Structure 1
């Protein structure tokens, strides 16, 4: 008899940032309120997805038409938000979010021909050995599949204070999630992903910015060989052994981002 761990596709990449934090949230069920900027990101992604889905369906749509989606996510979220967690107020979040959604709809979305928006995937079962199975399921959250006549590629939206730097979207650290999305898209549709992934950055601090950066060969980090293990091999070892190592050097190692932080003996809380 096997033990199956059900994992959301969108959470998979954070396993490789700090597995100890990931275990606390996704296996042990430790929870904490969402931060204002995290909720702003959720609102931006919901509004842009509504816009892209309408375009994909052949509907006439304007940025102003999806503004209520963003506002609703900020004013009536389906999870607890601690608006005292940082300096971002709900009013400022709405202002920044509307600016970024408008710029995305007018400047970024027209560059692409999307063929899927936040696709629901066929569950992927990964046998770790020892009766342990990982089932990756859910949707390709915040991502779209695009086609350009020569192939298909993944676009993934990333928002945050550092999402854009020097006119380019930050791509560092996103390859594990992108590689997972590429593999899931292929398994779900039967269509090969042949184009590099585009990261669409939406900067939520200072003057709002939008920009694009590319990731090539993301799947190579995930898939191992006889000579070199991939991230999937390391993940299988973690689930099989039950050991999820900490990473106190993670930029998310703080009470603000980690539900396990207060009881974690590995954290670095020195000033």
Structure 2
């Protein structure tokens, strides 16, 4: 009997499969990524510093924003991954200024209201049988997500940073369901519970930093479908089973700046 072919995919990268599968294949399955820019580094720094703050809250400690702000500065100045400092228009100095402002706003305005129970928790792997001897194993921890206990049950808030995460004062949830749906499924699988939804905590890294929290939405539904309508998992299974990962030249990330496959792709203009 032929052993199944297993693809290990981090839940945090699941959403990119449905943005441009061709890019996803190159960067995630073939491991040919590219160095991040300073804006991506700022996002990593924000998530590191806020995680320290939120972990203290979960442990019942009284904390100030200044207690964890140093983690942001240290992460910006001593990254643990390759950074292309020419990739975008943000300097490390400006990233530090914006990041410290957002960190303080988040710690004062958002974190105390969320009722966190888990911060970037580790998740047990979960196998998805795609048929044809293909198995996709979702792995990893919730890299930038937390878990909140609300009146309606457990909710998974995910921190998103960038210039387009807030639109007209509202946290932008468009295109987030694949990743957060994967988190919901994995958390349910790991903890033996059923999460009631997910939400976005948006940290806008423009020159005028701002924060916002979206309403709770059901990301699991997008992944598993319902009422006879297939979910994203079924469409993903077709791609893994066939080995065909279609390009999307209309993706907002279809540019040399964001895609490591750009020089090896003939689908873009």
TM-score of Structure 1 vs Structure 2, range by shorter chain: over 0.9
Output the CA distance in 2 between the equivalents of 1:75 and 1:15: 31
Q: Does 1:84 align with 2:86?
A: yes
Alignment of 1:60-71 (within 5 A): 60-71=62-73
Q: Could you say if the C-alpha distance between residues 210 and 226 of structure 1 is closer, same or farther in structure 2, counting changes exceeding 3 Å?
A: closer
Q: CA deviation at 1:47?
A: 0.6
Q: Does 1:221 align with 2:222?
A: yes
Look up the match of 2:25: 23
Asked if the contact 1:18–1:246 (Cα under 8 Å) also holds between the matched residues in 2, the reply is yes
Q: Could you tell me the TM-score, scaled by structure 2's length? A: 0.96
Look up the match of 2:248: 247
- Give the stretch that moved more between structures: 141-150 or 239-248: 141-150
Output the CA distance in 2 between the equivalents of 1:225 and 1:97: 40
Look up the match of 2:55: 53
Paired residues, number: 267
Structure 1 spans left out of the alignment, 5+ residues: none
- Give the stretch that moved more between structures: 212-221 or 20-29: 212-221
Structure 2 spans left out of the alignment, 5+ residues: none
Q: CA deviation at 1:13?
A: 0.8
Output the CA distance in 2 between the equivalents of 1:145 and 1:48: 14
Look up the match of 2:164: 162
Asked if the contact 1:171–1:215 (Cα under 8 Å) also holds between the matched residues in 2, the reply is no
Look up the match of 1:6: 8
Runs of 4+ in 1 over 4 A off after TM superposition: none
Q: CA deviation at 1:68?
A: 1.5
What root-mean-square deviation, in Å, do the aligned CA atoms of Structure 1 and Structure 2 show?
Answer: 1.2
Q: What are the superposed Cα offsets for residues 102-151 of structure 1, whole Å, 9 maximum, x if unpaired?
A: 10000000111111111111100001111110000100111111012441
Q: CA deviation at 1:224?
A: 3.4
